[in-house]
Amino acid sequence: MNEKEKVEWKKKIIQGIHEVYDPEIPIDIVNLGLVYQIDISDDGDVYVRIGATTPACPVTEDLQYTVEQVVKESVPAKSIRVELDLDTEWTPLMMTEEGRKEFIRKFGYDIVKRWAERMGIEEQKVT
């Protein structure tokens, strides 16, 4: 598998994962910043590392399973491994700009600014 094919696979995988939503915050896990890593080997093995908004999330195994199914439907991978990383602490700073705007539309406030204020982080470092 060449680099161009890997790039195409990655695009297809990310496109599919955009349909996987966090159960607590109704925003897809890509825009929440919960997709930490996607690797594709020369042999067509796919590795995806995802996180959760909280380690206590009761549906982390469901998220892991759903991402695996999305990868299966997106590309003809030789093997698929989806790792759930609960050690990396999620913060709103990990959200994409699109995710942040969607959060504001759905909830009426900017979670990133509110979180930064609570954490004592200067606003210009957040925006």
Instruction: Mention every residue, 6+ apart, whose C-beta is less than 8 A from residue 40.
Output: 1, 6, 9, 10, 46, 47, 77
Q: How far apart are CA 104 and CA 31, in angstroms?
A: 13
pLDDT tens-digit series, residues 61-100: 899 999 999 999 999 999 999 999 999 999 999 999 999 9
- Tokens 């030789």, located at residue: 78
Residue 47's identity, in one-letter code, is Y
Instruction: Tell me the per-residue pLDDT of 85-96, one tens digit each, with 9 for 90 and over.
Output: 999 999 999 999
Q: What pTM was estimated for this model as a whole?
A: 0.90
Q: What is the DSSP string of 87-122?
A: SS---GGGS-HHHHHHHHHHHSS-HHHHHHHHHT--
15-51 pLDDT, tens digit each = 999 999 988 889 999 999 999 999 999 999 999 999 9
